[in-house]
Amino acid sequence: MQSGKINVNTENIFPIIKKFLYSDHEIFLRELVSNATDASQKLKTLASVGEMKGELGDLRIDIKIDKENKTITISDRGIGMTGEEVEKYINQIAFSGAEEFVEKYKDSKDANAIIGHFGLGFYSSFMVAREVEILTRSFKTEDASEAVRWKCDGSPEFTLEKDSREDRGTDIILHIAEDSEEFLEEARIRTLLTKYCKFLPVAIYFGEEQINQTEPAWTRKPADLTDEDYTTFYKELYPFSEDPLFHIHLNVDYPFNLTGILYFPKLKKNLKFRRIRFSFIAIRFSLIR
């Protein structure tokens, strides 16, 4: 078993994370599921170019709550990591300029800007967890004994040891802190998954239910969709709204790539809104001429 200190250029990164990101601490789930999605997508890419041998199998992501042990586990069957990669990507945090960072963001409530700037997605887990474990095995390894388990209790101290995991992929196990036990409630997690992960491209399961659409309407060809498909998708996004007045399916590849569906809702029947509605229709025709 290996033990040591996470290599950061500040005495302790974790109080900084908790202090400056705590106002939006629910984003931990978005970050971890996004990481699992990236790991799955990367494996598909490697398989497509012949760098990954064997069957991909089911690349689903599973989120599980264990109320008794007060844990949340995010599991994927993506590329996984070797011990060396854990050392590189988890223990070596590029956090130079920490003092400037603290000064710049000391009054900021924009957690997305902070995480995006420093690549701290995984470490957002410490906003809600008193301890975090990573159980992982790389797709490259031929022997199950090459799987590893990383553990950290929210200080720079960590342990890294061999594990008996037999299949590739990664489990992130969060031991939820006492002040964050709201995240052990199924309704809370389901709401967050719907909010942040509804259209991610890898199947995400919470319990036995898949909670996302891997091929939402805007990613499909207009020729493959009916008017009913467009209306159904709109109602999923805005379940208490009337059917839209019309829609435009955008598929632009020059001078930039843009794919999406632009919906125009029905407006109230008074003069002011009627004029706005007709201006929208004019825009529609100018776009499709």
Mention every residue, 6+ apart, whose C-beta is less than 8 A from residue 114: 20, 21, 101, 105, 108, 120
pTM confidence score: 0.74
Q: Report CA-CA distances (Å) from 23 to 10, 53, 124.
A: 22, 44, 12
Q: Decide yes or no: CATH 3.40.50.300 for domain 217-288.
A: no
Q: In terms of pLDDT, which residue wins out, 117 or 240?
A: 240
pLDDT at 231: 86
Lowest mean pLDDT among 53-67, 88-102, 220-234: 88-102
Give the burial class of 154: count Cβ atoms within 10 A of its Cβ; 0-12 exposed, 13-18 middle, 19 or more buried: buried
Contact assessment for residue 174 and residue 73, using Cβ atoms and an 8 Å cutoff: yes
Question: Where do the structural domains in the chain lie, given as residue ranges?
Answer: 2-210, 217-288
Lowest mean pLDDT among 22-31, 137-146, 233-242: 137-146
pLDDT at 74: 98
Q: Which two tokens stand for residue 94?
A: 């590029």
- Residue 33: pLDDT band (50, 70, 90) is very high
Considering the segment(s) 2-210 as one domain, its CATH architecture is: 2-Layer Sandwich (3.30)
Reduce the secondary structure of 77-114 to three states and give it as a string: CCCCCCHHHHHHHCCECCCCCHHHHHHHHCCCCCHHHH
Mention every residue, 6+ apart, whose C-beta is less than 8 A from residue 268: none
Residue type, 94: A
pLDDT at 138: 94
pLDDT at 279 over 70: no
